[in-house]
Structure 1
Amino acid sequence: MTTTSFAPVFVSSETAKAVFDWTDAIRALQSAYARPVAPKSAPPRTVAAAGKTWLRTLPAVPAGGRYYGAKIMGMAMDAAVPGVEYVIVLFDRETSRIAAFVDGNLVTGFRTAATSAAALDRLAPRGPARLAVLGSGLEATMHTRAIASVRDVTEVVVFSPTPERRAAFAQAVTRDLGIPARGASSAQEAVEGAELVLAAARSKGEHPILFGDWLTLGATIVSIGSTIPEQREIDASVVARSDIIVCDTLEEVLDETGDMLAAHEAGVAFRDKSFSLADLMSGAIDERLKEARTRMYKSVGGGLQDIVVAELILGKAIEAGLVTPLPIEFETKR
């Protein structure tokens, strides 16, 4: 008697980095969000917490994909050496079995930046553009590379509070992408005159780092740093200045991010000009886009992004023979 093995595989961050491609990920996300996204297929993230321990879950069942699953991350802040680990669990529609465990650390950065670039590709006018970057960490690094894959970036100007970090960031951009880059001594200096603005760093005191009167008329803004009520990144004046606001998860961005809560408290009306990423990708707001001059994409991240990018990475890793088979098999309840 023969049995079929359904042993899952593991995909490391090293493998994810080796097989990842910005263009493929951006196109996959644009395709995923162009399909109707049923509310139950990508429900809101959930957070379980007790004391200094928390666990966050982001599930999704993308339409049309082979895999579905969830990203799980957690941290015990009072552990001897606290840190966050991420795992994306993929189930296979064809077998209904657990197919893979993907290290979600780098994937989280990849999917956030690729989704931002997917949105910016539909929001920002075509043509050469200067990119202002506020922040010099992993997200800023990944977003710069993702944006450069969909637009002709003529120059990158970066602001980070530490001169050494912004200098290193600029050097890496020129070395890796061949794009002229330089540091700026202030966020305002970086932003002035830029057609594309990336806000990817909150201040330590949770004060806004980007203001509306700094923006060039017609600029496109990507804001990714304020994802919960306690966090701040952009001033209410940026919300007021934006003619259209696209959100990856509409309700979460509008109701659960510090920036939008502050804008509401300041009396800024934004709900009638805010739309979902699915609205953007499906073409439902094309007419509104024609009238909009200053445009913003604001993100909190979502399980749909994780699963779409993880599926892409898993497929490439299998093809390249880079997955690690696991000597385990789960018992199936029937």
Structure 2
Amino acid sequence: MLQITEKQVQDSITMEMALPVLRKAYEDCMEGEIYAGGRIFTPVRGQENVGQWLVANCTNQPYFGSKFSSVFPQNVKKGLPSVISKVSLYSALTGELHALIDANYLTAIKTGGSAAIATDLMSKKDAGKLGIIGTGLQAFSQVLAIQEVRKITELYVYDVMPERVDRFIEQIETVKNSPYKIIAAGTANECVAQSDIICTCTTSLTPVFEGSYVKPGTHINAIGSFTSFMQEIDEETVLRSDKVTTEHMEGLWDAAGDIIIPLEKGLISKDKVNGTVGDILTGTILGRENDQEITLYESVGSGVLDIALSIAIYEKFRK
């Protein structure tokens, strides 16, 4: 049994490697060759702290696996990651444990890569102004991934803890793939108003910006909300969105507070959600039909993508 550390994952995985793995996982999922099981999440001593388990099984490779993540937002005040994850990868032939993989960076790359695929399919082709709300590892991976699919001209950054913004900008300066400007936004609404692509990467339980500031033609990657009671995106944003997609429909109705809350209030019906990223990739639905549409990718986590990426890392190390 291999134990693959966080550092080993960081040293072995790149966005260039991850994007084709994730695209293929979406396509394989549409073919039924890899599929997600039911998710489990549990609040831990209140609703702010959460533990979550995602699982996936392969029919075209000899693996199945699970990922556990804990989300403790106050960890940032203790110098710890707010999200801590680990993947267990098993043999589908014997049930033996093949690997334990530290998965904080893996999760960030997976989430960023999936959002980049959605961005490529749903945002305007000339979208160049990117807005990031939040400055943690997930936010970092969003920039790392989206700059691979769109030519970024300006990056706007906002965080409720202003002291974190300068450090984040310094990190992005070391990895940006073109000489785009990086601007610290004074407010979340300012960040949104200036952007063609918006990524929300927080652990907030309440909306982080006002939907009235979203411009026509904007694409939004809503990353932070993954339980039924988290609402990172406000109801106006959901109502104004012309197209809404996710990783898996079942997971969305289990875990996306951004969508579940307006549904329970009777503001939307389930047909507000058009389908999945896999549906767009395979041509079942369209990602964008004109430059005025507001599009929303609601990420709730995907065991399929986690396990697909874990298999790629495991096979690299076992050779």
* Short-chain TM bin: 0.7 to 0.9
- Bigger shift: residues 31-40 or 220-229: 31-40
The aligned counterpart of 2:60 is 64
Alpha-carbon distance, 1:37 to partner: 5.4
The aligned counterpart of 1:298 is 298
SS in 1 for 2:288: helix
Q: State TM-score, norm by structure 1.
A: 0.81
Residues 235 and 146 (structure 1), Cα distance of their counterparts in 2 relative to 1, 3 Å cut? same
Residues 207-254 of structure 1: CA deviation (Å, up to 9, x unaligned): 211222211211110001111122121110110111110111223324
For 2:140, the aligned partner's letter is: T
The aligned counterpart of 2:268 is 269
SS in 1 for 2:130: strand
Residues 117-163 of structure 1: CA deviation (Å, up to 9, x unaligned): 12212112223511011111111111111111221111110111222
For 1:72, the aligned partner's letter is: F
- Cα distance in 2 for partners of 1:140, 1:171 equals 13
- Cα distance in 2 for partners of 1:270, 1:27 equals 34
Residue 35 of structure 2 is aligned with which of 21, 41, 57? 41
- Cα distance in 2 for partners of 1:60, 1:215 equals 35
- Cα distance in 2 for partners of 1:51, 1:215 equals 35
For 2:196, the aligned partner's letter is: E
Q: State TM-score, norm by structure 2.
A: 0.85
1:45/1:302 contact within 8 Å kept: no
2:230/2:258 contact within 8 Å kept: yes
The aligned counterpart of 2:180 is 179
1:69/1:90 contact within 8 Å kept: yes
Residues 56 and 234 (structure 1), Cα distance of their counterparts in 2 relative to 1, 3 Å cut? closer
- Cα distance in 2 for partners of 1:58, 1:132 equals 29
Alignment of 1:102 with 2:73, yes or no, is no
For 2:300, the aligned partner's letter is: V
Alignment of 1:191 with 2:192, yes or no, is yes
2:158/2:184 contact within 8 Å kept: yes
Q: In the comparison of the two structures, how many residue pairs are matched?
A: 305
- Cα distance in 2 for partners of 1:211, 1:49 equals 27
- Cα distance in 1 for partners of 2:51, 2:208 equals 29
Query: Sequence identity, in percent?
Result: 25
Alpha-carbon distance, 1:58 to partner: 1.4
- Cα distance in 1 for partners of 2:51, 2:294 equals 37
Residues 125 and 65 (structure 1), Cα distance of their counterparts in 2 relative to 1, 3 Å cut? farther
1:202/1:209 contact within 8 Å kept: no
SS in 2 for 1:240: helix
For 1:64, the aligned partner's letter is: N
1:210/1:238 contact within 8 Å kept: no
Alpha-carbon distance, 1:72 to partner: 3.0
- Cα distance in 2 for partners of 1:41, 1:64 equals 11
| Structure number with larger C-alpha Rg | 1
SS in 2 for 1:217: coil
- Cα distance in 1 for partners of 2:95, 2:161 equals 50
1:33/1:282 contact within 8 Å kept: no
Runs of at least 5 residues in structure 2 that lack an aligned partner in the other structure:
73-77
